[in-house]
Structure 1
Amino acid sequence: MSTRSVRAAVYRGVEKHVAVETLLLDAPRASEVRIRVRAAGVCGSDRHVVDGEWNVPMPAIMGHEAAGVVESVGAEVRNIAEGDHVVVAWHQACQRCAECASGAPWACRFVRSNDSMLPDGTTRWHDEDGAEMQPYLAVGAMSEYIVVPEFAAIPIPRDVPFPVASLIGCSVGTGYGAVVNNAKVAAGESAVVIGVGGVGLSIVAALRLAGASPVIAVDVSEEKLAQAVLMGATHGFLSDEHLAEKITKLTNGGANVAFEAIGRIATMELLPDLIRPGGRAVYVGLPPENTRVELDALQLAYDGKTIIGSNYGGLVPARDFPRIAQAYLDGQLPIESMIGANIALDDVDDAFRALRDGDNGRRVIVFDD
């Protein structure tokens, strides 16, 4: 094993601009693996960074949705071998705290991912002058190769296409987990999903898998609503000032559960009005930093409504990623229909522009053989 020269998409603080650079990636250390990335999703979280809405350590190697093939392993790696197909989990929990021990790694208090650091507080990246580089969310998926801890590389069946597999690592996993882990939706419950981008469509698909009915998709785009129906929504509503009234009428008193998958103040504040007494409002969309919303606390208490924050869908990656992959293979989660285009690494700036313009369908970077 040795240091590798790789091409990667780098954000250096120039708002709305990512450049492809040649960097150096060190060999994996003990309990780490180096992965040849075959596909990387372009996610809304990446756009928040590139648009200056979230502050992260820089220079940042962008991307956090990755799937690929294990190229080499460090000492002490026991459960993964060279050649394995894997999906990467960006939330790299410490594996030692009380939350991790209780089966809730998403609640880990010592995770270093948001600092763009591996669990030991270091990075394997540097530029050709030796300056340290920061992989966004400890992944840096928009690169030909990456290094992650062994526990963050989750093996999946070889017949799952890499573009599909990459989305399991964040958008699909987050939507699935919000339904199954956070809201614990039961068959026959009514549900609303506000915002049917990548995460919202994944919520819709997971609701169909859970047997929810009706499943109401809400968006400002008729094209996205049409896609939501293909993913399993029974109804599609354009967002307007009468939305709460229409949902209350359709569900005979409000939905059992409602999901906000955008991160906008107006829709986050509206969410509790869409559920019945005793219902659950689940916040999945991520707003810009320091966002505050106003809720009617007295009405929440009076109606016994539950507010749920969804962090990474409450995922346990080693458990949930294989389940999602198998559901895809069984034809129960049509993940491929969420992909609008496969693109080359050099087209990443165009992919971010498409996100800003609200273009339908996820862009996935596919690396050549």
Structure 2
Amino acid sequence: MSLFLRVQRPMRGVITSANEVLISVELAAICGSDIHTLVGQRSTPHPCVLGHEGCGVVVKSSRPDVREGDRVTWGISTSCGSCFPCSLGLTNKCENQIKCGQVLIKRATLFGSYSTHIRCPAGTPIVKLPPALTPQLAAPINCPLATMVNALSKIPPVPRPGQPGASVALVQGAGMLGIYGIALLKEAGFSKVYCIDVNRSRLSRSADFGATPVHPDQAWPNALDPKEEIVSPDSIDVVIEACGNKDVLQQGLKTLRVGGTYILVGLVHKDSKLNISSQTVVTKCLSLVGVHNYTSQHLEEAVKFLSLHHDKYPFSSLMGPVYPLSEFRNAVEGAKSAHFFRVGINPHT
């Protein structure tokens, strides 16, 4: 696949249509989906400006609610507000959407974060950032955190102490989605949150965010002897798949109690055909929910959540090394190494 990454320095203040916002990018982060594009696992129109995670300072705005000098983050897709999905509140699935980092340059110039500036078209959610949210904290908000806020909106309310209801969760995957999900679940009132991942380094970090880490070898050492299982069958209220591995579904279904909820977030790729028993889903009366991206409301809630809890959990440590845009290839290799939760790009150095 031939992709064209444009490093462009536009004329300051260039806005060509109503409700556009021009932002000087402070920091961009490399998402796993961009890696999938670069290695050919995801099809993206090109030439384009890649990248969608990031934050920045408004240079010019034709929107009355967004002013020059505001520090902001932006939504990863636009919405028209009038199509059928938008009428259902699914603005993240707008029929006329333009996706940040996945659009031809001639259709939306500079709508990608791997550039000195990003020009957000009309219909792009723009959310202001408080001073406490540094670029290292804020850059990943508009993808993994906002998506997990959407995921948690699909689960039943946590009951009051002593009352029956959802209170134990299992997060499959200790990447950025999983880490954010753990903190969100803990702050939502879940009494225990298990986290499972094959990467022991990332798994160990999940404890810093409130999880009980369990390696797959420990969780299910002997499938024939359920007494040895740490995560018991029929014991989990909510399972969130955040690893992108279809093979975890069987164990997730096994751990869910009757009436439990399974939320699929990470399985957004071609190799995601599920081999599960519908009998289990039906007889357990399970809810199986898919979550893809988020709405402007979820982005606003994500900013609010991090504003309230950024000093309670070590979120700032999730950002690894920051590279200048001129070293983009090195940044990609750093992201592909999986040694870091996120790798950053400063386009102005």
Q: Shared topology, TM-score over 0.5?
A: yes
Distance 1:315 1:72, change over 3 A: closer
Distance 1:101 1:255, change over 3 A: same
The one-letter code sitting in structure 2 at the alignment partner of 1:171 is: P
Q: For 1:201-248, what per-residue CA distance to the aligned partner results, in whole angstroms no more than 9, with x for missing partners? A: 111111111121211111112211111000110x11112381785897
Correspondence for 2:33: 45
2:135 is the alignment partner of 1:162: yes
SS at match of 1:54: coil
8 Å CA contact 2:132, 2:307 repeated in 1: no
SS at match of 1:68: strand
The one-letter code sitting in structure 2 at the alignment partner of 1:309 is: G
2:125 is the alignment partner of 1:148: no
Correspondence for 2:8: 23
The one-letter code sitting in structure 1 at the alignment partner of 2:326 is: D
Q: Distance in 2 between matches of 1:246 and 1:109?
A: 50
8 Å CA contact 2:141, 2:303 repeated in 1: no
Which stretch has the larger CA shift, 255-264 or 24-33? 24-33
Q: For 1:107-160, what per-residue CA distance to the aligned partner results, in whole angstroms no more than 9, with x for missing partners? A: 433323289349xx92225xxxxxxxxxxxxx4111110100354221121331
Aligned pairs for 1:101-112 (under 5 A) are: 101-112=87-98
Distance 1:246 1:94, change over 3 A: farther
SS at match of 1:147: strand
Distance 1:56 1:78, change over 3 A: same
Correspondence for 1:59: 47
The one-letter code sitting in structure 1 at the alignment partner of 2:190 is: A
The Cα of 1:45 is off from its aligned counterpart by 1.0
Q: Figure out how many residues of one structure are paired with residues of the other and give that number.
A: 334
2:214 is the alignment partner of 1:237: yes
Correspondence for 2:66: 80
SS at match of 1:169: helix
TM-score by length of 2: 0.85
Correspondence for 2:163: none
SS at match of 2:139: helix
The one-letter code sitting in structure 2 at the alignment partner of 1:152 is: P
Aligned counterpart for 1:349 among listed residues 329, 333, 338: 329
8 Å CA contact 2:322, 2:343 repeated in 1: yes
Correspondence for 1:359: 339
Identity of aligned residues (%): 23
Q: Distance in 2 between matches of 1:268 and 1:353?
A: 30
Q: Distance in 2 between matches of 1:231 and 1:30?
A: 42
SS at match of 1:172: helix
Q: Distance in 1 between matches of 2:8 and 2:322?
A: 23
Q: Distance in 2 between matches of 1:141 and 1:279?
A: 38
Q: Distance in 2 between matches of 1:352 and 1:116?
A: 17
Q: Distance in 2 between matches of 1:91 and 1:199?
A: 19
Aligned pairs for 1:263-278 (under 5 A) are: 263-278=244-259
2:292 is the alignment partner of 1:295: no
What are structure 1's unaligned runs of at least 5 residues?
1-12, 126-138
Root mean square deviation of aligned Cα: 2.8
TM-score by length of 1: 0.81
SS at match of 2:304: helix
The Cα of 1:38 is off from its aligned counterpart by 0.1
Q: For 1:61-109, what per-residue CA distance to the aligned partner results, in whole angstroms no more than 9, with x for missing partners? A: 21100200000123xx211111011101102222223443454322433
The Cα of 1:314 is off from its aligned counterpart by 5.8
The one-letter code sitting in structure 1 at the alignment partner of 2:281 is: L
Distance 1:317 1:178, change over 3 A: closer
The Cα of 1:170 is off from its aligned counterpart by 0.5
The one-letter code sitting in structure 1 at the alignment partner of 2:138 is: A
The Cα of 1:303 is off from its aligned counterpart by 0.7
Correspondence for 1:129: none
The Cα of 1:258 is off from its aligned counterpart by 0.6
The Cα of 1:43 is off from its aligned counterpart by 0.7
Distance 1:320 1:197, change over 3 A: same
2:161 is the alignment partner of 1:176: no
SS at match of 2:158: coil
